[in-house]
Amino acid sequence: MTDSLKKSFATAVATGTAYLATVSPVLAQGIDTGEEITPGPGFATSIGGLINGVLSFVMVLAALLVFMYLIWGGIEWITSGGDKGKTESARNKITAAVLGLIVLAASYAILLIALNFIGFENLGDAFSNVKSISN
């Protein structure tokens, strides 16, 4: 780094620090209406809702990871420049991503088929008569 760049960076840091030091806290206070505020039921109040939420999150996260791996393989393929080793590595990544997507879709389908076979529409229904977590 050049000296002028270092000086301007130091000036920017000092200015930002001074600016943050001048920020005053907000001293707002709520109005007492006399009504008691009760919290809502929350994200999941039953075991089924909790498991359903966790499985949904895991499925979305897995799909995003598979999609990112697919894009990584595609970028590697584009930037391989005709090199056989890099092209083969990119092809293997793309193949693994597609197989991962197939496994992910199949596991979700098997879960839904198994629940429908038993007589439930989703995991929330399967655990609907289980006692609430919050009680």
Predicted TM-score (pTM) above 0.85:
no
Q: 83: phi > 0 → left, psi -120 to 50 → alpha, else beta; which?
A: beta
CA distance 9 to 13: 6
Question: What local confidence, expressed as pLDDT, does residue 4 receive?
Answer: 79
Q: What mean pLDDT, rounded, does the chain reach?
A: 81
Check whether 124 has a pLDDT greater than 60: yes
CA distance 66 to 59: 10
Q: 66: phi > 0 → left, psi -120 to 50 → alpha, else beta; which?
A: alpha
Q: How confident is the model at residue 3 (pLDDT cuts 50, 70, 90)?
A: confident
Burial 29-47 (b: 16+ CB within 10 A, else e): eeeeeeeeeeeeeeebebb
Lowest mean pLDDT among 25-29, 83-87, 107-111: 25-29
* Tokens at 78, concatenated: 């584009």
CA-derived radius of gyration, the chain: 27
- Contact (Cβ atoms closer than 8 angstroms) between residue 123 and residue 51: yes
CA distance 23 to 21: 6
The string of pLDDT tens digits covering residues 49-96 is: 777 778 888 989 999 999 999 999 999 999 988 889 999 999 999 999
